Amino acid sequence: GIAHCSALSFLALGNNSVGDASAAALVDAMKDKKQLTHLDLEANAITDRGVKTLANMIASRVGGRALKSLSLEDNKFGDDGATSLASALPECPELEELYLSGNTIGDSGVAVLAKALMQRGKKLEECSLEENAIGDEGFRCLLG
């Protein structure tokens, strides 16, 4: 399987039924993939718990440093997942694309994300947050 593909840099598993348990298995399989640049898990069934597991993987290994694109669109996470992800963003200095549309991220989650993005020092080229639960307060946080 992919755990044995030492040169793997792009992994797209969108539009499947990947849930929290599968996200945890993915973390285990990807533990030595320090060159992973693109991870696409859009349109799955990942909740706050699964995003926390993924964020811990990104934050705890050197591999997060190579990550350029992360897609978690159309999953099932909200503010807690966004907060977990925000804690991992400082370990992703090369991140250029962040796709989080179609979840239930609200004002508090987007506020933490916005703060983490500002602290990174490098601006994203693409950030997608449509179809969440972001209101006026969260929008002001995004504006900085």
Give dist(CA 135, CA 112) in Å, integer.
14
Closest by Cα among 61, 58, 138 to 95: 58
41 Cα distance to chain centroid: 9
pTM: 0.93
Q: What are the helix (H) ranges across 30-97?
A: 48-60, 79-88
**Rounded percentage of the chain residues whose pLDDT exceeds 90:** 66
Q: What is the pLDDT of residues 86-98, one digit of tens each?
A: 999 988 888 999 9
Tell me the per-residue pLDDT of 9-58, one tens digit each, with 9 for 90 and over.
Answer: 999 999 999 999 999 998 888 877 778 899 999 999 999 999 999 998 88
Closest CA to 61 of 91, 40, 38, 83: 91
